[in-house]
Every structure is written in C-alpha cells, then in structure tokens.
Amino acid sequence: MAPGAFVLSDDAAVIAPRAGHDLVVTTDAIVAGVDFFADDPPATIAKKALRVNLSDLAAKGAEPFAYLLVLSLPSVDAQWLAELARGLAQDQETFALSLLGGDMSATPGPLSITVTAFGHVPEGTMIRRAGAVPGDGVFVTGTIGDSGGGLAARKGVLLERYLVPEPPVAFGPSLRGLASAAIDVSDGLLADLGHIAQASGVRIAVEAERIPRSDALRALWGDTTGAIVRAATCGDDYQIAFTAPLAKEDAMTGAGVRVTRIGRVEQGLGVLLLDAQGHEIAVPRKGFAHF
C-alpha cells in the first residue's frame, strides 16, 4: 500500500516549536468534480491539494514547512497512487516541505484530498484579515482570472494555472510588517476582498482597469468590462490580495513577484468595482459560492 515516496502509516506526528516563532496552520480540501477533474493527472491533483494550502499560508506571511494528508479514495490503484506520490514529492522539494503523516480511507463518493499545512512566522507577526484601514492601498500579486479562463477553455498555459496553481509562496514572508491585511484569492478577487472589508470594517474600492490580467487571458476573453468582471469573480487564482499603507508601495518589489495596486481602502462597508470614470460597475455575483 505504501507508494514509496510517502508513508501514511503513523497516526500522529510531533512538531518541536521553533524558538521565537508562532505556528500557522491551515486546512483545505479539494474534491473531484468540484475542484479538479477525476481524470486529471494524479501529480497535478497532488500539487493543487498542497498549493491551495500554501496559498493560505503565504497570505498570512508564513513560511511553510510541513503538512498532513488525508486521502479519501473510491478505489486503490497502485499506479495512480505512485503518480500522486511523485507529485507530492516534487512539491515537497520545490517548497521545502515535510509530510508529517495522515490517513487514507475508502469512500463511496468522489475522490477527495484534505491537506493541513503548517508554517512559521516570527512571534506575533501573522497577517490577519482585520487590519485594513481607510487610506491604505489595495494590492494584488500576479495576474487575475487565468485559472478561470483555463477552466473555461480547457487548454494551454491557462489550463495549467487551473490544474497547478502558482501561489507566490516566497513572497508571503515579505508581507510581514508591510501588509495591514491579506487574503489569498480563491473564491474570487472581489469576494475575497469582501472578506477583508468585512473583517476590517472598511469599504474597498477597486478600479476595474487596474486589475492585472495576462495577455493570454485578454486574448481569450477580450477587454470589455464584462471580461474584467469575469476575471475578478471567477476565483481559483491563488494570488495574494492585500492592503498596505501607500507609503510602503516602494517596498513591494521583492521576491521577483509582480505586485499591482488596484484600489484603495475607504470608510464604509463592502466592496465596489469602479470604471474609469469612477462610476460603480454592478457585479451581481462577486465570486464562487460553495452552495
């Protein structure tokens, strides 16, 4: 049963504390037919399961170091498991992670993978959702909408973004002392900024034309307002959206990650999308709703 590269045989694992650091933990499940397709390559499924969690940790300013894995499988195929293990092993190497343990069990339903990921931050420095204040700028890493475009088109480099997210893990720690609030973009840019707005008790105004979109996505969906709204609501981006004092904008060019200022934090509540004239664009559905 043990597919070589990983052993799920122990029930529990021990983590020795790192002096002067807090432990940050996050957990997220991916389910076949919802977050991936059951016939996706097992190695890419493995990487998505890990990276949706690494994305959470990066948005908290944490450096990932370990994870636990729960596999719920409708059946066991040794070849499939070996490929899954290969994907996990590759990302363990890429992100310097250890597999601490986990569990494998049968399910009558679709395949699902739950990962619990662990990271460190220097004591008291975890970035929360609740720190945004009026006057802050609103920023986002990378480009937005690629994964949604890839899912819709099922082809090319954009599809790769859906299958294997590229969260800016190395950039996460540079958010400490810089971001006033942060979140990873999974439900959709506007929906996730809404979580910051709600937790912080502020209003977030986003300028539609500032939202960074890749050339491939613009070629696919065009440059209409509708295309921008679609990118800002399709989700599965695994980039980091954050707020920070405008005075700190120059400090954001580290780690080779593209950072774009897309709006500002105001008094009030909620999230607004604005056109070039500063008028509100109606957005009936700000992101992915789980139900």
End-to-end CA distance of the chain: 35
Q: How far is the CB of 203 from a second copy (least distance, A)?
A: 19
Nearer to a second copy, 31 or 152 (CB): 31
Nearest to 70 by CA among 13, 15, 27: 27
Nearer to a second copy, 127 or 216 (CB): 127
State the residue for tokens 């399709």.
Answer: 234
Q: Tokens in use for 11?
A: 């029930």
Q: How far is the CB of 76 from a second copy (least distance, A)?
A: 5
Q: How far is the CB of 15 from a second copy (least distance, A)?
A: 4
C-alpha to C-alpha distances, 194 to 12, 116, 205, 232, 282, nearest whole angstrom: 37, 25, 10, 12, 15
Q: How far is the CB of 23 from a second copy (least distance, A)?
A: 4
Q: How far is the CB of 257 from a second copy (least distance, A)?
A: 19
Bridge-partner residues for 117, per DSSP?
A: 26, 67
Nearest to 5 by CA among 116, 93, 65: 93
Stated length of the chain: 291
Measured CA to CA, the distance from residue 59 to residue 185 in angstroms comes to: 9
Nearer to a second copy, 1 or 247 (CB): 1
Check residue 279 and report its DSSP letter. P
Measured CA to CA, the distance from residue 106 to residue 115 in angstroms comes to: 17
Q: How far is the CB of 109 from a second copy (least distance, A)?
A: 2
Nearer to a second copy, 52 or 208 (CB): 52
- For a second copy, the binding residues (CB under 8 A) are 1, 9-18, 21-29, 31, 33-35, 56-57, 59-60, 62, 68-70, 72-73, 75-76, 100-110, 112, 114, 116, 118, 121, 123, 126, 129, 183-184, 195, 290-291
Nearer to a second copy, 126 or 193 (CB): 126
Nearer to a second copy, 83 or 192 (CB): 192
State the residue for tokens 């909620």.
Answer: 270
Cβ partners under 8 Å of residue 202, min gap 6: 132, 133, 134, 196, 265, 266, 267, 268, 269
